[in-house]
Amino acid sequence: MADIVTNHKARRDYHILETFEAGIVLHGTEVKSLRAGKGQIADAFARIEKNEAWLYNAHIDEYSHGNLQNHETKAPRKLLLHKSEIRKLFELASVKGNALFPLAFFWKNGKVKVSIGVGKGKQSFDKRDDIKKRDSDREMKRATMKWTKGK
């Protein structure tokens, strides 16, 4: 499972409550562009409309060798999920403060899949706590590395 594009802002800005794996409806030039790693999902979000899941604001660059049939870069794209998963996503997203957003595009069995996250926005003090924890973990790891090398 190799990631094509990841959303680093999502893990920084949200507490991720649950994740879902979804297929995505893409045209040929979109797949070729993603195969070349030409995509960006930092500002993308998902929405449930009329019992269907849609991905908005995901930017997939135009394919360089495409012709007049090239795709639109920020077109809404349909997500392929089971009805029960869509129902569950709708329930989770309807809670005040929760958001649906893509975490990553990845390959699975030769097809592009999307990891959709349901999350609650972090406050600035939450982000600072995460930074402090990451720094302290890094310092502990360095200290143990020095200690084991000294023996």
pLDDT on residue 88: 94
pLDDT of residue 151: 58
Q: Say which residue the tokens 């349901």 belong to.
A: 118
- The reported pLDDT for the residue numbered 1 is 58
Q: What is the pLDDT along the chain (151 residues), one digit of tens a residue?
A: 577 888 888 888 888 899 999 999 988 888 888 888 888 888 899 999 999 999 999 988 887 777 767 777 888 999 999 999 999 999 998 989 898 999 999 999 989 999 999 998 877 766 788 788 888 888 888 888 777 766 5
Q: Tell me if 65 sits within 8 A of 43, measured CB to CB.
A: no
pLDDT at 81: 94
The model's pTM: 0.75
The separation between the first and the last C-alpha atoms of the chain, rounded to the nearest angstrom, is 39
Phi, psi for residue 74 in degrees, rounded to 5:
-115, 35
Using CA atoms, how far residue 82 sits from 23, 50, 63, 112, in Å, is: 10, 14, 30, 17
The whole-number pLDDT of residue 150 equals 61
What the chain holds in terms of domains, given with CATH numbers, is 3-122 (2.40.280.10)
- Burial code (b: 16+ CB inside 10 Å, e: under 16) for 58-72 equals bebbebeeeeeebbe
Q: Residue length, the chain?
A: 151
Q: Are strands 59-60 and 39-40 parallel, antiparallel or unpaired?
A: antiparallel
